[in-house]
Amino acid sequence: MRAIDKITLGTVLLAIAVALAWVAPASAQQILLDKPVRAGELVCFPDLNDPLVYYYVNDKPHLSMDENGKPQFSFLRYVENVRSGADQAEAREGEGGGIVHAVVALSVTKEQIAAAQRALVRVAPGAKLVGPVVYKSGKFGLVSSFKDTNGNMTKQVVGLGNAPLLDGDKAAVSIQVTKLGAKILWESFQTPTPDISFSFEMDMSGYRSPHRALIEANFDQIYEHKAFSVGIATQFLAAEIKGAFDDLKREGAIKLTQVGEDEKLDALITTAYNKIAEIMFSPMGGTGTPDLSSLTGTGGQPSMLDRATAMLKENRTATEQQNEKIRAENKTIREENRAAAEATTPAPASATGGSAKAAAGTATDAADDRPRGYRPRTPSLSPTYADEARPTDAPGSGGPVAERKEESAPSFAVLASFEMKRVHQRGIFKIDLNKYTTDNLTLRFDENIGDMRSLMKEGDNFRQVNLDDPLYKQRELVVFVDGMNAKDFGDYVNFATVQMRKHHQGGDETQDEVRIDRVNFNKEGNNFKLLYGWKNDSDRRQWMNYEYQTTWSFFGGKEVVQPWKKANAGAINLAPPFQKHSVDLQADPDVITAAGVRSITVKLFYKLGDTEQVKTVTLNATKGQLSDKIDFILPADVVNYDYQIDWRLKGNRVVSSGRKSASDAILFVDELPSAG
């Protein structure tokens, strides 16, 4: 047992500050997305209003541990004996496969936070780390290697799930693999680094710094693109949308006009794509994680897992090809810089009083000036956002000719999925980026599942079973809520209940029920279970069939009882009857300044049943805050909402738009009513 560490007063104060910061709501965070800084093992983003306030990114995924300290993970290999027909060869193997279930958590240790605070002070004197970035949403996939149709081993996305959002949150994912996949995976788990990893794509909201650039999008041309034509597809991966936007940019349907030079061109293009995508698409189920039917594919169409695998391979290949060119260019630059340095004759040591020693000391000092915990990342096949966050106080970097940075993975996510909105924008869309602009940033990071050999020896987490004896058979149905996370439950939902009934062949009926509320949603990792057993069910196929009914209770007293549904899948995906919507508020700074507007208050009205809800946002024009976003929920078949805009002018005079209706994803709030 190790000795108890001494706790300094500074550590205690830091812990108190971090704890208080975590209590603050996500809406209180106004983060600059384009100013990341690496501090120790963490990547941090500054506050828009206070450059000395930083929030750290929680990008440390791991398997969740149960109360006994064991990973919440299981791998079940199963076999079902089969008989061959009279005209068939003898069956040498039974049918079977495997089921992998994992509960994943995101958390950062106190030691990592303390080390990051020390490193941050060296990067920005006086800076303070106040808490974690609160993610807007997130997805994670399980990636492993399997044989393709040609017999070659290839990386595949084998499972998708909603990622945990808060520090300590949990999320679960289950995948079913074929018999061959189960064999390969079983052998892989007997190695120190199994061939299965978690790939996270986390979305955070914030602001982009002002840039002298203008976005123009011709929606009449955009909707005519082959990728978006009616009947081609109804569900899109984010990476597929990005590919179509690249085509449209080359064709001139999407334009990004800059005034002067800007090294952040890629970031500006991503911002433009994000704004256009928000108008055209909404996340499937509210979070961008597809439902089970989409994962498996129907009607001969490729499944979302297959499409995600193809996009993952394409993006990694393109990134690596580009980085090979950059590495070759950098090698040439290094050789030219070395030749130039050798051509310069250094002064003799006797004449300069030890200039060589001084030069060596300078190099050593440069290394010493780097923040503690700084370690250069080795370029990987798919560099992540963390490669862009470098310590800014490390002197001695660069040279006579600067080397190019290697390309990061594409900024648009691979795993997120979207569906096209029914209401289409028309005409030319313009937005001026010469202000602090709201935007989303997708952070990608990966983590191997880790060494599981000791767990295989114990046998509790790894099981092999023969399903031949029906008497002992039981079936657990995994229930999870798609399209909502823990924060949504806290904002909108009281609880949801799921009732299951199973009619057995012998006439018996099994009933089970599970209640999902704000407390156990996070505790159970959005992983709930229903159970029924074997009761004289001689027909094994019919034994898989059951029925379930879902009841939703929303804030404000609204209750929705959905009808009974027939199913036979091993998981029940609960899609809420209300879906999240967002309205982007935008104002032209020139118009607002000319009108003498000091602040803009926007009230948004929406209904849950017969109860009206109101959300209010105030834009501070005097501080240049002329964009924001309002999130709310509406019934799945409703897109309209009401709003009212109040402009406070000089002299404390208020002008109001009155209550109006709209359905747009962007609301321009700079059109004051004319006098008289």
DSSP for 440-477, please give it.
EEEEEEEEE----HHHHHH-SSEEEEE---GGG-EEEE
Neighbours of 110 (CB within 10 A): 11
pLDDT of residue 309: 61
Residue bearing the bigger pLDDT, 234 or 88? 88
Q: How far apart are CA 204 and CA 397, in angstroms?
A: 30
| pLDDT given for residue 405 in this prediction | 65
- Mean pLDDT across the chain, nearest whole number? 74
Structure tokens at 495: 């609880």
How high is the pLDDT of residue 128? 92
Rg (CA), the chain: 28
Structure tokens at 136: 């807007």
* pLDDT top residue among 286 and 625: 625
Per residue in 651-669, pLDDT (tens digit) is: 889 999 999 999 888 999 9
**Two tokens at 469?**
């004896």
Burial of 182 by CB count in 10 Å (0-12 exposed, 13-18 middle, 19+ buried)? buried
Confidence of residue 563 (pLDDT cuts 50, 70, 90): very high
What pLDDT, on the 0 to 100 scale, is given for residue 660?
93
Mean pLDDT of 41-59: 90
DSSP state of 64: -
Handedness of CA 22, 25, 30, 33 (dihedral sign): positive
pLDDT the model gives residue 22? 40
Residue 608: Cβ within 10 Å count: 19
pLDDT band at residue 27 using 50, 70 and 90 as cut-offs: very low
- CA angle at 492 for the pair 489 and 497, rounded to the nearest 5°: 60
Q: By percentage, how much of the chain surpasses pLDDT 90?
A: 13
- Return the pLDDT at 658: 92
Q: What are 63-113's pLDDT values in tens digits?
A: 888 888 888 888 888 887 776 676 777 667 778 888 888 888 888 888 999
pLDDT tier, 548 (very low <50, low <70, confident <90, very high otherwise): very high
Read off the DSSP letter of residue 87: T
Rounded Cα distance, 206 and 34, in Å = 9
Q: What is the pLDDT of residue 210?
A: 84
Q: 525 — phi, psi (to 5°)?
A: 65, 35
User: Residue 447 above 70 pLDDT?
Assistant: yes
pTM of this prediction?
A: 0.52
- For residue 463, what pLDDT is reported? 85
Instruction: Please give the average per-residue pLDDT across 512-523, as a whole number.
Output: 83
Which amino acid is located at 235 in the chain?
Q
Helix, strand or coil, per DSSP, at residue 611: strand
Q: How far is CA 333 from CA 199, 343, 383, in A?
A: 34, 15, 22
pLDDT tens digit sequence for 240-278 = 787 788 888 888 888 888 766 555 667 777 777 888 888
CA distances from 536 to 471, 473, 509 (A): 8, 11, 11
66: its two tokens: 């149960």
Q: Which two tokens stand for residue 549?
A: 């009914």
Q: What is the predicted pLDDT for the residue at 374?
A: 30
End-to-end alpha carbon distance in the chain: 80
- For residue 602, pLDDT beyond 90: yes
Q: What is the pLDDT of residue 234?
A: 64
pLDDT range class, residue 411, cuts 50, 70, 90: very low
More confident call, 260 vs 467: 467
Identify the weakest region by mean pLDDT among 16-25, 181-190, 411-420, 441-450.
16-25
Say whether pLDDT at 337 is over 70: yes
Residues in the chain: 676
Ordered domains of the chain (ranges, CATH): 474-576 (2.60.40), 580-668 (2.60.40)
Q: Which pair of tokens denotes residue 371?
A: 């923040």
Q: Which has more pLDDT, 592 or 299?
A: 592
pLDDT at 394: 36
- Contact between 370 and 394 under an 8 Å Cβ cutoff? The reply is yes
Q: Is residue 638's pLDDT more than 50?
A: yes
H/E run at residue 552:
strand 546-554
Between 540 and 379, residue with greater pLDDT: 540
Residue 399 DSSP label: -
User: With pLDDT > 70 as the criterion, what percentage of the chain qualifies?
Assistant: 71
129-143, 146-160, 201-215, 394-408: range with lowest mean pLDDT: 394-408
Higher-confidence position of 348 and 266: 266
CB 58 within 8 Å of CB 107: yes
Q: Which two tokens stand for residue 108?
A: 């950062």
- Which pLDDT belongs to residue 350? 45
Question: What local confidence, expressed as pLDDT, does residue 487 receive?
Answer: 65
The encoded tokens of residue 656 equal 């109001």
Report how far residue 213's alpha carbon sits from residue 254's, in angstroms, rounded to the nearest whole number: 13
- Average pLDDT, integer, range 149-155: 57
Cα–Cα distance for residue pair 405/539, rounded to 1 Å? 62
Residue with tokens 């989303």: 440
Q: What is the pLDDT of residue 158?
A: 64
Looking at residues 281-293, what average pLDDT do you find?
54
Q: Which of 157, 137, 163, 147 is nearest to 311 (CA)?
A: 157
User: Which of these, 19, 2, 41, lies nearest to 386 by C-alpha position?
Assistant: 41
Q: Report the alpha-carbon distance of residue 17 to residue 10 in Å, rounded.
A: 10
Distance from C-alpha of 237 to C-alpha of 289, rounded to nearest angstrom? 10
Are 427 and 220 contacting, i.e. CB atoms less than 8 angstroms apart?
A: yes
Q: Give the containing element (helix H, strand E) for 513.
A: strand 509-517
- Residue 148's pLDDT is 55
Q: What's the confidence (pLDDT) of residue 377?
A: 33
> Which of 317-321, 617-621, 634-638, 640-644 is predicted least confidently?
317-321
pLDDT of residue 231: 44
CB neighbour list of residue 306: distance below 8 Å, 6 or more residues apart? 297
Average pLDDT over residues 643-656: 91
| Cα distance between residue 530 and residue 498, in whole Å | 9
Q: Tell the residue number behind the tokens 């594919």, with chain if given.
A: 297
Task: Give 277-296 as a 3 state SS string.
Answer: HHHHEEEHHHCCCCCHHHHH
Rounded to an integer, what is the distance from CA 6 to the centroid of its chain? 38
Q: Which of 70-79, 385-394, 518-527 has the lowest mean pLDDT?
A: 385-394
Question: Which is higher by pLDDT, 373 or 392?
Answer: 392
Q: How confident is the model at residue 401 (pLDDT cuts 50, 70, 90)?
A: low
How many CB atoms lie under 10 A from the CB of residue 157? 25
Q: How far is residue 58 from each of residues 112, 130, 609, measured CA to CA in Å?
A: 11, 13, 37
CA–CA separation, 34 and 47 (whole Å): 11
DSSP 299-356: TTPPPHHHHHHHHHHHHHHHHHHHHHHHHHHHHHHHHHHHHHHHHSPPPPHHHHTSHH
Q: Are 309 and 157 in contact (CB under 8 A)?
A: yes
* Per-residue pLDDT, 82: 74
Q: What separation in angstroms does the CA of 604 have from each of 359, 380, 663? A: 64, 46, 12
Q: Which of 272, 265, 382 is nearest to 321 (CA)?
A: 382
User: Which tokens go with 377?
Assistant: 């990342």
Are residues 415 and 308 in contact, defined by beta-carbon separation less than 8 angstroms? yes
- Say if residues 632 and 612 touch (Cβ distance below 8 Å): no
Find out whether 584 and 627 touch, Cβ atoms under 8 Å: yes
- What pLDDT does 228 receive? 78
Q: Give the pLDDT band of residue 23 (cuts 50, 70, 90).
A: very low
Q: Is the pLDDT of residue 186 over 60?
A: yes
